[in-house]
Amino acid sequence: MFPTATPLVWSAAASLVAGATVTAPIPIDFCEVIGNKTWASPAEVRACISSFPVDPIVKASVIETLNKTLAFHTSTNYQIQAPPPFEDDVHVDLVGELARIAAEEQSSDLELHIDLFRTFKRANDGHCAYINYCYDSLYLTYLPLPLVLLTESDGTQGVFIAPEAFAVATAEFGPEVSFWQDALPGKLKGRLASLSGAKVLLIDGADPFVAVNANSEITGSYQAFGARQNAFFASYFVSDAGWNYTLGNFAQQSLPLVDAATLTVQLANATKNEIVTFTIPYRSRISSILRSFTNSTSYRERNCRASIFTNGYDLYSNDTSATGAERTPLMDAGFSASRAYGTSELAFLASGPRQNEHPLNLALDALPLADAALPPYLRPALPASNASYSVAQFHMLADNMTGVLALGSFAAPSFSVFQQSLLDGLVDLKKKGAKRLVVDVTNNGGGYICIAHWLHRIIIGARDTTEPQAGLDSTARASPLARAIVHRVSKGADPEELLLYNPAQWTNATHHPLGNGTDWMKKVETIEVNGYEDAFSQRLGQECQPFSVKPTKKGLFKAKNVAIVSNGRCASSCSLFSITMSKLEGVKTVVVGGKADVPQQYCGTVGGQSTNFATIDTEIKTSGLKNHTLAPPDFLTNSVQGITWRLGYGLDDDTEPEEWQDHPADLNLPLTIHNVNNPVAIWEDVVDVLWSDAQPLFQVQL
């Protein structure tokens, strides 16, 4: 699959102990070679990280942790075979696969990791992930050539080097761009800029879609094939830091497994449709989360062992040495979220109150989403409303009729400021004359569940679809250990109501509080899922309302005048919002870009509420059940396992999960050379297609 280096360092250490003779080959510590370098070749990084051997005890322990934590993931049995329309997309028996991996031998710990990592990816569920920060994204591996999929004026589609590629690369990579300038062959040498906007005819000698589709098999995170294809390409999103750019899986990878790409391209603006073929090397850059090292030993000691964030802890223990004095469950959630979304989010998620106060539904990925800045000339030049806050930016389009909410996440530094700003910003747009609203949720991986409910409620107004429940009813998996935790909690194991399994914060199917002390998993719903007997809690209602801010009774916009726009990569709380807006209110959904003959879903990875191993471990330890036979052992490695804790029920079929129900976009808007990665141009195109003057308001047929 990929070249592995002989783990010389270990035999070298052994031979030194044995007093090796001077004729013994000088051992190479491959990590020492890259120890002090910001940039290295992927082969050099791979030589270092593939030199760690499999430790059978650690391997067995990690597999046991993963396996036992899967009992808390709502979807384990569903994912063995998803129903249509995802029958070809989701069919992995994770428990069975773990047994396979346990039985197989791997040549290195990296090979073991890749098998585990990609096996979880095959669930195509952004909540169900396995990440090991000994490997994932400690180095990010880049090409300065982000790609985009464009539709040309004659309607044909092609893969292109992004027109902004050189601008992005020079801003992001600085002087290292000269490495690639020098690496380009022949007359392309030093002319990286000339490749921007080129049409890509072949990648590694084959049609570009061979590479796009191969990537869609391993990129995970979204059920829909179209959304996974789109991961290959560059796109934008709003982060807490501003307008950001993600290079896409072709130009940015979480593991250093590929050394070079060979592209055949037709240069942009060339006089004679000049076609050139060239090979360009990938380059790996050390990430800010990697702790400095000088050799294999220090690499592993500092990066590969469990940290204070890896495992849970007893919330009522006074032993701060075991837990880290300042640690809170929210920090754990924030920590994994920050890994997924960029380090700045750690600080703000950690600064809030306990996790239970604002439950999260958030996708988790090995790749940080924020990898670069959207070039200034592509950022919206329209004035932003002064109510804009963090990931929520409000703009009026030049038509003075369309307001835009660019919403990059459902999480922001302050829950309450965020909630207020969404109301103030929409009210401000209306004051400025907005009759219609575009909500751009491109690359929005979710966040606070109650912010999703809130946004639905304030846009639509008080209706039976928004009050009291503006989201989805849900159910938690009732595995024997989950039931034991609930039982312990009902007996007083959690007096301060800090645990997820504490009934105090949840409501029943008619939205009445379950009540302090209820053993709410005493009775469970037993169902058969893909031939396996499974058990779930009673149906849970909403816990968001009444909101802490009072919403206006009337909706702010008519549903017919609202469009939700994205690249199909809207997950988790973003799905809760989009699905309720689309299926209950009839709001139009638009996916921008994607292959024309592939159905585009407007969202994916619905979940209901997501969490991770560390949080579950805290539940187990706090309720005194760590020595239960079904309790997962602590991770020995620097790992994170994400799971879905509550799964939302469907709207079309309310007896089945929403997760694998259809979410077809109403409109698939082509990306062109004119609007690609240009948010304002995209919003204006959406307005033209949905609400052009020729088509009066309210009368659009799609």
Question: Closest approach of Cβ 393 to ligand NAG, in Å?
Answer: 11
Which neighbouring-strand residues pair with 610?
A: 644
Q: Does the footprint of ligand NAG cover residue 287 (CB under 6 A)?
A: no
- Residue 158's alpha-carbon distances to 150, 197, 203, 493, in angstroms, are 6, 11, 12, 60
- Binder to ligand NAG among 20, 28, 95, 260 (CB under 6 A)? 95
268 is a site residue for ligand NAG (CB under 6 A):
yes
Residue 64 in contact with ligand NAG, rule: CB under 6 A: yes
Smallest distance from ligand NAG to CB 624, Å: 5
Does position 289 bind ligand NAG by CB under 6 A?
A: no
Question: Which listed residue (81, 181, 287, 295) binds ligand NAG by CB under 6 A?
Answer: 295
Which CB, 6 or 344, lies closer to ligand NAG?
344
Q: What is the footprint of ligand NAG within residues 98-127 (CB under 6 A)?
A: 98-99, 102
Q: Nearer Cβ to ligand NAG, position 307 or 516?
A: 516
> Which residue is listed with tokens 């959630």?
333
Instruction: Indicate if the alpha-carbon torsion angle 612, 615, 619, 624 is positive or negative.
Output: positive
How far is Cα 346 from Cα 413, in angstroms, rounded to an integer?
Answer: 9
Q: How far is the CB of 196 from ligand NAG (least distance, A)?
A: 4
Q: Which residue is nearest to ligand NAG (CB)?
A: 242
Of the two residues 259 and 399, which places its CB atom closer to ligand NAG in the complex? 399
Should residue 400 be labelled a site residue for ligand NAG when binding is judged by CB under 6 A?
Answer: yes
User: H or E stretch including 214?
Assistant: helix 208-218
Residue 187 makes contact with ligand NAG by CB under 6 A = no
Distance in angstroms (rounded) separating the CA atoms of residues 470 and 124: 26
Closest CA relative to residue 340, chosen from 370, 307, 360, 306: 370
Out of 7, 42, 126, 197, which residue is the one contacting ligand NAG (CB under 6 A)?
Answer: 197
Cα-based distances in Å from 427 to 279, 394, 565: 53, 10, 20
Binding of ligand NAG by 624 (CB under 6 A): yes
Site size toward ligand NAG, by CB under 6 A: 44
Smallest distance, Å, CB 676 to ligand NAG?
Answer: 13
Site for ligand NAG in 233-252 (CB under 6 A): 239, 241-244
Question: Could you say whether residue 530 binds ligand NAG (CB under 6 A)?
Answer: no
Alpha-carbon separation of residue 150 from 73, 260, 430 (angstroms):
38, 24, 34
Residues 610, 332 contacting (CB under 8 angstroms): no
Mention every residue, 6+ apart, whose C-beta is less than 8 A from residue 57: none
CA dist., res. 423 & res. 603, Å (int): 23
Report which DSSP code applies to 508.
B
**344 and 338 Cβ atoms separated by less than 8 Å:** yes
**Least Cβ distance, residue 71 to ligand NAG (angstroms):** 6
Judged by beta carbon, residue 472 or residue 581, the one nearer ligand NAG is: 472
* Mask for 143-182, x = binds ligand NAG (CB under 6 A): ----------------------------------------
Please tell me the number of Cα atoms within 13 Å of 319 on its side-chain side: 5
| 38 belongs to the binding site for ligand NAG (CB under 6 A) | no
84 or 492: whose CB is closer to ligand NAG? 492
For 533, other C-beta atoms within 10 Å of its C-beta total 9
Helix-helix angle 296-303:42-49, to 10 degrees = 80
Of 149-157, 393-401, 525-533, 553-561, which segment contacts ligand NAG by CB under 6 A?
393-401
Please identify, among the stretches 209-217, 368-376, 442-450, 591-599, the one whose residues bind ligand NAG according to the rule CB under 6 A.
Answer: 368-376
- Choose, by CB under 6 A, the member of 298, 307, 414, 672 that binds ligand NAG: 298
Using rule CB under 6 A, residue 399 touches ligand NAG: yes
CA-to-CA dists, residue 320 to 269, 311, 636, angstroms? 64, 14, 20
- For ligand NAG, which residue of 28, 58, 63, 201 counts as binding (CB under 6 A)? 63
Q: In sequence order, what are the residues at sequence separation of 6 or more whose Cβ sits closer than 8 angstroms to the Cβ of residue 532?
A: 77, 80
8 A C-beta contact, residue 191 and residue 184: yes
Distance CA 147, CA 160 (A): 6
Site map (CB under 6 A) of ligand NAG, residues 488-527, x = contact: ----x--x------------xxx-x---xx----------
Binding site for ligand NAG (CB under 6 A): 36, 63-64, 67, 95, 98-99, 102, 194, 196-197, 239, 241-244, 268-269, 294-295, 297-298, 316, 318, 342, 370-374, 386, 398-400, 492, 495, 508-510, 512, 516-517, 624, 627
